[in-house]
């Protein structure tokens, strides 16, 4: 599907992606698992470019979940090194292409070196406004809500807020995604039909699109197919 098939007046503002299938892609191609992640990281650049070309404003990607710590130390270290390598490698081009880097999740659990790399990327791109690339690193929806509740409790104790202030908007303001609208479209690759603890609060009214395609094979045309699916839906938000 080409971009001209899409309705320019009905594009999602915020798209979130569960980039699943990197390991399966490596296995299918008789490669080491890390090659799947490398291919997936390179593919993110392609999808980001496609999103920019059709004026998507926010792209959030599930890079490393709170549950991923259960993997082997070797795999975890490889993934952390990959994040650092790619952020350093593409930082200048990210700024040149006017891409703002943000993160959600508890990055304090990551290595100091990766934390510094992330902070450098955020500072260097802070004034960019073409698109926001939100990297979910050490992110889990339940953990995010727990951390938000703890912050709310602290602010209640310190009388910064009162019970009567607590509504859905206030809770949203305490979440990691306080800076953006909820995703309009949530894409999951590789054929799984679960959200795997990703944006639990925020995705309550997102359109959910799944594809059998593994993330490293997910092309811009697959991306446009997902957006076309989104545009075929009438979003009622509970109304008739």
Return the closest-CA partner of residue 11 out of 44, 52, 55.
55
What pLDDT, on a 0 to 100 scale, did the predictor assign at position 236? 72
- Cβ atoms of 223 and 47 closer than 8 Å: yes
What pLDDT, on a 0 to 100 scale, did the predictor assign at position 5? 78
What pLDDT, on a 0 to 100 scale, did the predictor assign at position 240? 57
What pLDDT, on a 0 to 100 scale, did the predictor assign at position 234? 84
Q: Answer whether residue 2 is part of any domain.
A: no
Task: Determine the structural domain holding residue 149 and report its residue range.
Answer: 11-231
In the chain, which stretches have pLDDT less than 70?
1-4, 237-240
- Note the pTM of the prediction, 2 decimals: 0.95
Q: Answer whether residue 238 is part of any domain.
A: no
Q: Answer whether residue 239 is part of any domain.
A: no
Q: Answer whether residue 5 is part of any domain.
A: no
Which H helix or E strand runs over 215? none
Q: Is 159 left (phi over 0), alpha (psi -120 to 50) or beta?
A: left
Please provide the DSSP assignment of 52-82 as one string: HHTT--EEEEEEEEGGGGGS-HHHHHHHHHH
* Count of structural domains within the chain: 1
Token pair of 16 as six digits: 């979130």
Q: Answer whether residue 1 is part of any domain.
A: no
What pLDDT, on a 0 to 100 scale, did the predictor assign at position 239? 64
Alpha carbon distances (Å) from 59 to 76, 87, 130, 131, 177? 24, 16, 11, 7, 12
Of all residues in the chain, the percent with pLDDT exceeding 70 is 97
Give the Cα separation of 126 and 177 in Å (integer).
16
Q: Answer whether residue 240 is part of any domain.
A: no
Q: Answer whether residue 4 is part of any domain.
A: no
What pLDDT, on a 0 to 100 scale, did the predictor assign at position 3? 45
HSE at residue 64, side-chain half, CA atoms within 13 A, is 23
Give the Cα separation of 121 and 161 in Å (integer).
33
User: Catalytic residue positions?
Assistant: 20, 68
Q: Answer whether residue 83 is part of any domain.
A: yes
CATH number at residue 117: 3.40.1180.10
């Amino acid at each position: 599907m080409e971009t001209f098939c899409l309705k320019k007046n009905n594009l999602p503002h915020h798209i979130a992606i569960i980039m699943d299938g990197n390991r399966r892609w490596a296995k299918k191609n008789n490669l080491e698992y890390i090659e799947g992640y490398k291919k997936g990281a390179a593919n993110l650049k392609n999808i980001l470019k496609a999103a920019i070309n059709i004026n998507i404003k926010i792209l959030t990607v599930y890079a490393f979940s709170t549950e991923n710590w259960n993997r082997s130390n070797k795999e975890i270290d490889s993934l952390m090194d990959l994040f650092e390598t790619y952020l350093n490698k593409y930082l200048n081009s990210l700024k040149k292409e006017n891409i703002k880097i943000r993160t959600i999740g508890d990055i304090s659990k990551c290595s100091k070196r990766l934390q510094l790399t992330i902070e450098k990327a955020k500072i260097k791109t802070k004034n960019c406004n073409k698109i926001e690339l939100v990297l979910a690193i050490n992110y889990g929806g339940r953990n995010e809500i727990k951390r938000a509740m703890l912050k709310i409790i602290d602010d209640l104790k310190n009388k910064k807020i009162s019970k009567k202030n607590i509504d859905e908007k206030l809770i949203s303001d305490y979440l990691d995604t306080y800076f953006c609208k909820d995703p309009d479209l949530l894409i999951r690759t590789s054929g799984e039909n679960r959200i795997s603890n990703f944006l639990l609060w925020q995705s309550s009214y997102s359109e959910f699109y799944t594809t059998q395609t593994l993330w490293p094979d997910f092309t811009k045309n697959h991306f446009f197919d997902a957006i076309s699916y989104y545009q075929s839906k009438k979003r009622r938000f509970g109304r008739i």
